[in-house]
Amino acid sequence: MGGVNAVAAWLGDCAREFARRADELDELDRLLGDADHGTNMRRGTEAAGAIDLSETRTAAEALRKVGMALVSTVGGASGPLFGTFFLRTGAAWPSQVTTAGVARAMRAGLDAVVIRGRAREGDKTMVDALAPAVRALESAAAAGQDLSEALPAAAAAAERGRDATRDMVARRGRAALKADTSVGVIDPGAVSVAIIVTTAATHVR
């Protein structure tokens, strides 16, 4: 995603995907938490998609607006965590979009999520999809790949991380209260990360 128009197009796709999969995410969250993750993410991405970006000058500013919308409209722990990711990623977003610059921005977002959520890989959270995606971007940058190659690779890494949560024991948040029955269920936050990165990969500039 290079410019404001790309962010706006991604927001539309992202909101539609969360609307389509809200029930699926709620069902996963019913098994692990409050049964409202999909509803909350649908509401948050709808609000983000409704942002007027006509006077927004940079993708960095647009991403920060997305973060603020998610913080203010997504309930539970997801709002602050996903909102923090976009706020910090937006703050670090490069003026000249390169794979290395996007990798640094997403690393900043990941680090902020880890600090705020006090989660690490293996805890069965959104971090388990986000961290592999960031590492894939960093590897692509080191290999000199452009974003048209790097972001789809990051999306594939996020999807693998998402799927790996099925065999993990939940250790953070409300899901940890159901640790004994959490194995066999994919973490809905990890699913949401995969949706976000996969839809973003279709709007690379």
The domain locations on the chain are 4-201
pLDDT at 106 over 60: yes
Q: Are 103 and 136 in contact (CB under 8 A)?
A: no
Where residue 98 falls (left for φ over 0; alpha for ψ -120 to 50; beta otherwise) is beta
Task: List, in order, residues 6 or more apart from 161 with CB less than 8 Å away.
Answer: 128, 129, 130, 131, 132, 133, 190, 193, 194
> pTM of this prediction?
0.94
Q: Which CATH class is domain 4-201?
A: mainly alpha
| CA 39 – CA 155 distance, rounded (Å) | 23
Q: What is the pLDDT of residue 62?
A: 95
| CA 96 – CA 92 distance, rounded (Å) | 12
Q: What is the pLDDT of residue 177?
A: 81
pLDDT digits (tens, 9 = 90+) for 46-101: 999 999 998 999 999 999 999 999 999 987 888 999 999 999 999 999 988 999 99
Q: What is the pLDDT of residue 144?
A: 97
% of the chain exceeding 90 in pLDDT: 85
| CA 53 – CA 170 distance, rounded (Å) | 38
pLDDT at 1 over 60: no
Rounded average pLDDT over 148-168: 97
Q: Are 107 and 71 in contact (CB under 8 A)?
A: no
The overall average pLDDT reported for the chain is: 94
pLDDT at 2 over 60: no
Task: List, in order, residues 6 or more apart from 96 with CB less than 8 Å away.
Answer: none
